[in-house]
Amino acid sequence: DTAVSQTPKYLVTQMGNDKSIKCEQNLGHDTMYWYKQDSKKFLKIMFSYNNKELIINETVPNRFSPKSPDKAHLNLHINSLELGDSAVYFCASSQPGGTLNEQFFGPGTRLTVL
């Protein structure tokens, strides 16, 4: 019954590799997000995406790209991984607009770049 799921939970890889993190939501939401939480525990938005619009935080390197095969999935592709990409990545989803717009978060993927 998991609302927002992510795979893998842990990912260890070498610098320079390309990797993907998958996210799926079964809530029927139209909007999905990716957040990054660094070692200092600050949570930062990376992307907001629905079937009409991709909003990118301007601080995100273009090595990061979200790809959505359908409304229930938003995968995160990372090219040429760097040491500084090590972090926990959270996927989230919500319905756009309205007064609530509660976001549901996945359990996170801990990425370690060696």
Partner 1 sequence: DAKTTQPPSMDCAEGRAANLPCNHSTISGNEYVYWYRQIHSQGPQYIIHGLKNNETNEMASLIITEDRKSSTLILPHATLRDTAVYYCIVRGLAGNMLTFGGGTRLMVKP
Question: Based on CB atoms, which residue is closest to partner 1, 14 or 59?
Answer: 59
Binding of partner 1 by 31 (CB under 8 A): yes
Which of residues 28, 42, 52, 62 is near partner 1 by CB under 8 A? 42
- C-alpha 3: how far from its chain's center? 15
Binding of partner 1 by 64 (CB under 8 A): no
Which token pair is 8? 């893998």
Binding of partner 1 by 38 (CB under 8 A): no
DSSP per residue over 51-103, as a string?
Answer: SS-EEE-TTS-TTEEEE-SSTTB-EEEE-S--GGG-EEEEEEEE-SSSS----
Q: Which stretches of the chain bind partner 1, using CB under 8 A? A: 4, 31, 33, 35, 41-45, 48, 55, 57, 90, 92, 94, 96-108
